Amino acid sequence: GENVEQHPSTLSVQEGDSAVIKCTYSDSASNYFPWYKQELGKGPQLIIDIRSNVGEKKDQRIAVTLNKTAKHFSLHITETQPEDSAVYFCAASLEASFGGSNYKLTFGKGTLLTVNP
């Protein structure tokens, strides 16, 4: 089955700096890669996702890149703010448009991001 590795496990940055979290996956069939942010006491919140037909996607201060050949994808947060502090999870699954019905998400172990004021 799919295996997702995530690094680093903890990341501390100064407010205003950039943060990068990297993930690798093992199953070349995976083609949907979401990122979730989880704050204390809450469920994971989808912040951005990318599908296999694109290499990069941006949403304001957040961007995700995908390298299907190398089987890795990364989350980039620019101009970090204290409210960005949380645990971030990457995940991989299959995309619905490619057929099938197995949308099980396989998660990385998470990255605790701390943004220091």
Partner 1 sequence: KAGVTQTPRYLIKTRGQQVTLSCSPISGHRSVSWYQQTPGQGLQFLFEYFSETQRNKGNFPGRFSGRQFSNSRSEMNVSTLELGDSALYLCASSGGRFQETQYFGPGTRLLVL
Binding footprint of partner 1, residue count (CB under 8 A): 26
Question: b/e per residue, 85-97, with b = 16+ CB within 10 A?
Answer: bbbbbbbbbbbee
Residue 45 interacts with partner 1 (CB under 8 A): yes or no: yes
**Alpha-carbon gap, residue 11 to 44, rounded angstroms:** 18
Given the complex with partner 1, which of 21 and 91 has the nearer CB atom? 91
**Alpha-carbon gap, residue 97 to 41, rounded angstroms:** 34
Specify whether the backbone of 72 is left (phi greater than 0), alpha (psi in -120 to 50) or beta. beta
Contact set for partner 1, span 58-77 (CB under 8 A) = none
Residue 102 interacts with partner 1 (CB under 8 A): yes or no: yes
Residue 47 interacts with partner 1 (CB under 8 A): yes or no: no
Q: Considering the complex, what minimum distance in angstroms separates the CB of residue 66 from partner 1?
A: 15
Q: What residue ranges bind partner 1 (CB under 8 A)?
A: 32, 34, 36, 41-46, 49, 89, 91, 93-96, 101-110
